[in-house]
């Protein structure tokens, strides 16, 4: 039994070292490739690299999975300058380390579940950055529409108004409008450029703006007045969403306290009476009970956040 434990320990160390070396090598190759590419097309925003990873083997492997395309789109919407290969390798590395650590304190199913949760933390960061960017876009978009409406009333055409607003708008609106203007000026046309804008920023406010522009192109009318009305309605919707988030903050805080409180009590009991907690840990069913309790806490937190997440 001792020999098997020693062999398992060295196998885990070898696996961890192999993954670390592989990730370090991919990072070195990517950094070298980015340095070489920067010398060829520096300061160029019109060229893009469709490779999933700078490491050929990892790139060919990732290209076989459908969910990689979804991850690629999410990262582009979050405006993260990462490759898909880097994110997936970090997910694999973090999940492996967490699994090896949790195997010492939890049963196999609990360690596997915990490793899966930790492995999805990088993807959760991508989703959080994406949502933060979309929120900043929604909050500043009404002011941008007002500026565009004033430019249209002053006699500017829509392409000139978009270029003028894009030069003065805050991020991330400035970047997205400049991309749309560049695509339209390169021969794609404003209809296709606005469709690409809607795919890059899939929020309701952008879809309303694009619908107003497309309807004006077919029927005519005073687009400046239409954009002014749309901006006013957007401000009212954003104000209502802020009130809803303020009301839901109490429920989110309650859920966080209820989730963290049992962990704090467990740590305090371990410090005050270690023998009492070691009885639970050393019991044959102790690890299973601990893993079940942690799983219930995670599920409770998810349920509470789902309840207080009110959509408008």
The CA-based angle 56-60-64, given to 5 degrees, is: 165
**Running DSSP on this structure, what letter comes out for residue 185?**
I
Q: What is the pLDDT along the chain (312 residues), one digit of tens a residue?
A: 444 444 444 455 545 555 554 555 555 545 555 444 444 443 444 444 555 555 555 555 555 555 677 778 888 888 888 777 788 888 888 888 888 887 777 777 777 888 888 888 888 888 888 888 888 888 888 888 888 888 888 888 888 888 888 888 888 888 888 888 888 888 778 888 888 888 888 888 888 888 888 888 788 777 788 888 888 888 888 888 888 878 778 778 888 888 888 888 888 888 888 887 777 777 777 778 878 888 888 888 888 878 877 776
What local confidence, expressed as pLDDT, does residue 253 receive?
Answer: 83
What local confidence, expressed as pLDDT, does residue 46 receive?
Answer: 43
**133-238 maps to which CATH number?**
1.20.81
Q: Is 177 exposed, middle or buried (0-12, 13-18, 19+ CB in 10 A)?
A: buried
Q: Give the C-alpha separation, 171 to 166, whole Å.
A: 9
What local confidence, expressed as pLDDT, does residue 288 receive?
Answer: 80
Q: Give the C-alpha separation, 107 to 87, whole Å.
A: 28
Three-state SS sequence of 224-271: HHHHHHHHHHHHHHHHHHHHHHHHHHHHHHHHHHHHHHHHHHHHHHHH
Q: What is the pTM of this model?
A: 0.66
Q: Give the C-alpha separation, 197 to 162, whole Å.
A: 13
Q: Give the C-alpha separation, 237 to 230, whole Å.
A: 11
Domain boundaries, the chain: 12-26+56-119, 133-238, 241-308
What local confidence, expressed as pLDDT, does residue 250 receive?
Answer: 78
Identify the residue whose tokens are 């619908």. 211
What local confidence, expressed as pLDDT, does residue 69 receive?
Answer: 75
């Amino acid at each position: 039994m001792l020999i098997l434990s020693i062999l398992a320990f060295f196998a885990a160390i070898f696996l961890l070292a192999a993954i670390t070396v592989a990730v370090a090598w991919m990072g070195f190759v990517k950094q070298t490739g980015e340095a070489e590419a920067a010398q060829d097309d520096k300061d160029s925003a019109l060229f893009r690299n469709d490779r999933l990873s700078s490491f050929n083997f990892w790139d060919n492997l990732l290209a076989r999975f459908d969910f990689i395309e979804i991850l690629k789109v999410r990262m582009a919407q979050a405006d993260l300058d990462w490759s898909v290969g880097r994110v997936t390798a970090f997910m694999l590395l973090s999940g492996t380390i967490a699994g090896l650590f949790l195997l010492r304190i939890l049963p196999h199913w609990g360690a596997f579940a915990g490793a899966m949760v930790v492995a999805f933390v990088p993807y959760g960061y991508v989703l959080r950055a994406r949502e933060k960017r979309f929120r900043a876009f929604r909050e500043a978009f009404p002011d941008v529409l007002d500026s565009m409406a004033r430019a249209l009333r002053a006699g500017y055409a829509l392409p000139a108004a978009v270029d003028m607003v894009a030069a003065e708008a805050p991020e991330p609106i400035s970047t997205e409008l400049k991309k749309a203007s560049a695509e339209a000026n390169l021969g794609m046309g404003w209809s296709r450029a606005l469709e690409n804008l809607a795919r890059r920023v899939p929020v309701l406010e952008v879809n309303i703006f694009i619908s107003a522009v497309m309807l004006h192109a077919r029927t005519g009318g005073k687009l400046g007045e239409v954009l002014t009305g749309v901006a006013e309605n957007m401000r009212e919707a954003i104000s209502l969403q802020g009130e809803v988030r303020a009301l839901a903050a109490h429920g989110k805080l309650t859920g966080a306290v209820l989730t963290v409180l049992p962990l704090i009590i467990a740590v305090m009991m371990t410090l005050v009476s270690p023998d009492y907690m070691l009885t639970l840990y050393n019991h044959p069913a102790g690890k299973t009970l601990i893993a079940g309790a942690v799983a219930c806490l995670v599920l409770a937190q998810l349920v509470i956040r789902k309840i207080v997440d009110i959509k408008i």
